[in-house]
Amino acid sequence: MTTFYPASWSRLLVVLSGASSLLCGIVAYRERFALLSGHWRHVDFWLAFLPLVLLVGCALFMVRGYSVDSETLWVHRLLWKTRLPLKGLESAAFEPGLLRRSLRTFGNGGFFSFTGWYYQRAVGSYRAYATDSHRTVLLRIQGKGVVLTPNDPEALVQQVRRGISKR
């Protein structure tokens, strides 16, 4: 049986995504006039289209939610799902605020999601598929950390733990 857990968006993510989208739109709109006037350089071309490519690219990688079946956790993106096998799962715990005390080493820090590789002293390096820094769930899979932020973290942890005990 597969259960879907929607990803909750924090107020911070809404503000960051809105501000970033607005900024990209303003830059693209402003540079459009340079292209239409015929007095444009190659820089103007890229300044007009790069913000729109960034906006669409980040939107495609947003996290919409998670689903769990007996052997796999799925991270639902805008148009596809990312598969995380649960084989080798060592632990699952609700750790509120874990993302707030972390350093992003590579990834997206608030343009529709908090995704990528992060580091936190107590946890070490981990992969984040997050949208809310207050509802963080930490999974340990074969010694590697994965952070998720479902709307109901306790329910996801309980379902994942049931999967561990069945093995």
Give the pLDDT confidence of 131-153 residue by residue, as tens digits: 998 999 999 999 999 999 999 99
Rounded to 5 degrees, φ, ψ at 33 are -65, -35
Q: What is the per-residue pLDDT for 29?
A: 80
The model's pTM is: 0.87
Q: Residue 28: is its pLDDT beyond 90?
A: no
Q: What is the pLDDT of residues 90-123, one digit of tens each?
A: 999 999 999 888 999 999 999 999 999 999 998 9
Determine what percent of the chain is predicted with pLDDT higher than 90. Answer: 68
Tokens of 73: 């956790």
Sign of CA dihedral 62, 68, 73, 79: negative
H or E element in which residue 155 lies: helix 153-166
Render 41-94 in DSSP notation, one character per residue.
Answer: -HHHHHHHHHHHHHHHHHHHT---EEEE-SSEEEEE-SS-EEEEE-TTEEEEEE
**What number of helices (H) and strands (E) belong to the chain?**
3, 10
**Per-residue confidence band for 49, with pLDDT thresholds at 50, 70 and 90:** confident
How far, in whole angstroms, is CA 34 from its chain's centroid?
35
Q: What is the per-residue pLDDT for 69?
A: 86
Q: What is the per-residue pLDDT for 18?
A: 96
